[in-house]
Each structure stands twice: as C-alpha cells, then as structure tokens.
Amino acid sequence: MKMILTSATTPDEYLQCLSGWQQAYAEALCSVVRATAPAAEEHLKWGHIVYFLNGPVLLIRAEPTRVLFGFWRGKRLRHVESRLKPGGKYDMATLELREGTPLQQGTVVRLVEEAVALNRSLGNPAVPSAPGAERAA
C-alpha cells in the first residue's frame, strides 16, 4: 500500500498533515510512545515517524486505509500482541490498524517497553551482528 505523502519535515508536522481517524490513531500512538519511552529520539524518516533508541525501535506510518505500528524486533513481541504480522528485514513485524480496530493503551505501553528493552540488551537491530549472536540472547 502507498503511504500518505506529506510535505512534513517533523513528526508534529506529519501528524498535522493527517486527518480523521488516521490522525487520531497516529496521535494517540505517538502520545503513548513519548510517555513510555521519553529517551527515544523521534524523527520523520522514510516518510513516516520512527523512534530510535540504540537504533530504530518502532515506526508509525499512515496509509490511505490503515495506520501501521511496526517494530524492528516485532517478531519477538508477538507474545504481547498476536496480530503483529512478520515481514521485511530484520525481525520486523507490524500491527495493521484500520478505522475501529481495537487496541488497548496497556498493550501499546507493553509493546514499547519490550521493544526498547530488546534494543538496549541486543543493540541496534539495523547493524549486522555475529552469526547466532541474537539467537543466544
């Protein structure tokens, strides 16, 4: 699917360019991420919001019919949220949110906390590690 293209240069501008339920979902997710992981750096990168703490941790991406809430180590978070769909590089998995999709704040908090903890303990997921290094962790 295509992402919603904006002229935004900051995460706040990105949120302001959205509308309707996509804006409400993206703003709510950002609010919880900011409160749960205040040390994470928030950037507009690759056309969407990305949070970094010892490498990329998670993303929030608006598309015409959905909002994606993705995690670089999301495959390791499926015990928290079974709707995370694996795909892409690294251990990426993404939760697809459509208008009316239920998602509890506590689940978002736990996903963010565990994603940050994985980056702290395992390092930057975008940097190749020695073979088997993450499997041993």
d(CA 32, CA 124): 22
**Is residue 6's pLDDT more than 90?**
no
Q: Give, in order, the Cα–Cα distances in Å from 130 to each of 10, 40, 42, 58.
A: 35, 25, 28, 23
Residue 135 has pLDDT above 90, yes or no: no
Q: Residue ranges per domain, the chain?
A: 11-120
pLDDT of residue 88: 77
pTM: 0.89
Angle at 44 between CA 10 and CA 97, to 5 degrees: 110
* pLDDT tens, position by position, 76-118: 999 999 999 999 777 999 999 999 999 999 999 999 999 999 9
What's the topology of domain 11-120?
Aspartate Aminotransferase, domain 1 (3.90.1150)
20-62: pLDDT as tens digits: 999 999 999 999 999 999 999 999 998 899 999 999 999 999 9
The yes-or-no verdict on residue 1 having pLDDT over 90 is no
